[in-house]
Amino acid sequence: MEPINARSMLDAAAIASADRPPVERRRRLSPAALTVTNQKVGRAYSPIVIAGVVRVIDFAMLSAIGIALYFGYVAPLRGFSWEFLAAIFGVAATAVICFQAADIYQVQLFRGHLRQMTRMVSSWAFVFLLFVSASFIVKLGSEISRLWLTAFFVSGLAALVAGRLFLRSLVRDWARQGRLDRRTIIVGADQSGEQLVQALKTQDDSDIHVLGVFDDRNDDRAMETCAGSPKLGKVDDIVEFARRTRIDLVLFALPISAETRILDMLKKLWVLPVDIRLSAHTNKLRFRPRSYSYLGEVPTLDVFEAPITDWDLVMKWLFDHVVGFVILVLAVPVMGLVALAVKLDSPGPVLFRQKRFGFNNERIDVFKFRSMYHHQADPTASKVVTKNDPRVTRVGRFIRKTSLDELPQLFNVVFKSNLSLVGPRPHAVQGKLQSRLFDEAVDGYFARHRVKPGITGWAQINGWRGEVDTDEKIQKRVEFDLYYIENWSVLFDLYILLKTPIALMTKSENAY
């Protein structure tokens, strides 16, 4: 089952929200929910990234040991040979492949001791038997130093064992901190919900941590606890709950036949940066096994997936910090001139700090060059800047038109990591369209915040920047931002970044 397209959900939400009542800005949570949100929770570590890093370390460590032994013993006696180095890299690569085949690159196994050690020793011994056999077949056995081969085997094995013992300690420490848990909430506090919670809790070596259940029903079908997990509130409370504590997975314990209820709930929850799945453990309707994704042995159907995760998140972080640092260094002279112009043009500080929405609606401080008179500054953006706005200084008009006022946000990217180079533009917390806040004007607006905001973005290079004075402008921004989130890649980021200077020169009619 393919994840639901965010654009279609945006359209459905817009239709369903006609004539809706005003929304409460911050919902009150139940005492049970507040108990969970008040717990200190660290950032999650990706098991996929951890396993990948361990593979790279294994390869580098074994290669380094083989090369060090070669240059320490073999090369002084026989001279340098590229064939030996090729053989060393071949042994290290084969070892990683065999470890993968033995299935020891799992975070759950890293926590253990005997099981992974047995598999690792067996695999390492198999690699050397394979190497010796290959050397005999191609008649190179007499050219290979037995002392070097023995030392490589023993030293490599010792290093692998020591590395796994250190990794075991590290992973167990991360597990105690909850960084390896998939913090999960269940939707549905009935019998099906209780069966699902029981199924998840009885699995060995599971990374699923069930925080509680949510249900809209107040009758006898809704239990106060499901297999020991408390009812935390109603479905409408989930968005607020997920913004106060880390949630990784929302799991529906509702039958597929409850299509209308599920769709109504998804219209509220799809704006969150979490995986959303539909449990299929009690459904009588069965699909092909490959249609499911599994939580241990519990079959589920994917509905929404959190964007930019695992290695994609690592690549975006590297892109932001490496490219951002280079741009910052190149921009320092320009920033110095702009700062001098702002200071000479009007009294007050050079930089302006404003509260804006960041990832998952967290409030972040964004830095800009001050473009308004200091005594008329508007940190909450309660009044939109319009054409010929008297609050804007002479220098301010120029730097806003050219977006030079955004350059200090490079500090947010490189040093604070709460902005990306490319992403949905962070709007001010009190940003409004006429008298309505942006999220009241456009349904699905907060889906923009499923990824980290950026200095520039897909909407901006397509001309949707500057003043927001019509429904179309904010609607188009959201549509372009959602397209970016669904189609993200490093090359897409690079394209937007390279296109930004051209867009600033040709599509700045709305920037005042």
In this structure, the chain runs to a length of 512
Q: Which region, left, alpha or beta, applies to residue 29 given φ > 0 means left and ψ of -120 to 50 means alpha? A: beta
Q: What is the pLDDT of residue 15?
A: 46
What Cα–Cα distance (Å) separates residue 399 from each residue in 123, 131, 334, 338, 352?
A: 62, 65, 11, 8, 13
pLDDT at 18: 41
Integer angstrom CA distances of residue 183 from 228, 241, 489: 16, 12, 27
238 Cβ neighbours under 8 A, 6+ residues apart: 185, 187, 214, 250, 268, 269, 272
What pLDDT, on the 0 to 100 scale, is given for residue 16? Answer: 46
CATH superfamily of 6-38+181-306: NAD(P)-binding Rossmann-like Domain (3.40.50.720)
pLDDT on residue 193: 87
The reported pTM is 0.84
Which tokens sit at 4? 């639901």
Provide the pLDDT for residue 371: 86
| CB proximity list for 252: less than 8 A, separation 6 or greater | 186, 187, 188, 262, 265, 276, 277, 278, 279, 303
- What pLDDT, on a 0 to 100 scale, did the predictor assign at position 313? 94
pLDDT for position 4: 56
pLDDT of residue 23: 42
C-alpha of 342 from chain center: 37
Which pLDDT score, from 0 to 100, does residue 12 have?
A: 53
Q: Domain segments of the chain: what residues?
A: 6-38+181-306, 47-176, 311-506
The sign of the CA dihedral 106, 109, 115, 118 is positive
Q: What residues form DSSP beta bridges with 276?
A: 250, 304
SS3 171: helix
Per-residue pLDDT tens listing for the chain (512 residues): 455 555 555 555 444 444 444 444 567 888 999 999 998 888 899 999 999 999 999 999 999 999 999 888 877 777 777 777 888 899 999 999 999 999 899 888 888 767 778 889 999 999 988 888 877 776 555 567 778 888 999 999 999 999 999 999 999 999 888 899 999 999 988 888 888 899 888 887 788 999 999 988 776 667 788 888 899 999 889 999 999 999 999 999 887 777 788 888 888 898 999 999 988 866 655 666 666 788 888 888 888 999 999 999 999 999 999 999 999 999 999 999 999 999 998 888 999 888 888 998 888 999 999 888 887 777 666 666 777 778 888 888 888 888 888 999 999 999 999 999 999 998 877 777 777 777 777 878 888 999 999 999 999 898 887 667 777 888 888 999 999 999 999 999 999 999 998 888 776 565 55
**Predicted local confidence at residue 293, as pLDDT:** 84
Containing H/E element for 304?
Answer: strand 298-304
Distance CA 90, CA 82 (A): 12
Q: How far apart are CA 277 and CA 293, in angstroms?
A: 9
Q: Which 3-state string (H, E, C) describes 377-402? A: CCCCCCCCCCCCCCCECHHHHHHHHC
Query: In the prediction, which pLDDT does 275 show?
Result: 93
Which of 259, 264, 203 minimizes the C-alpha distance to 234?
264
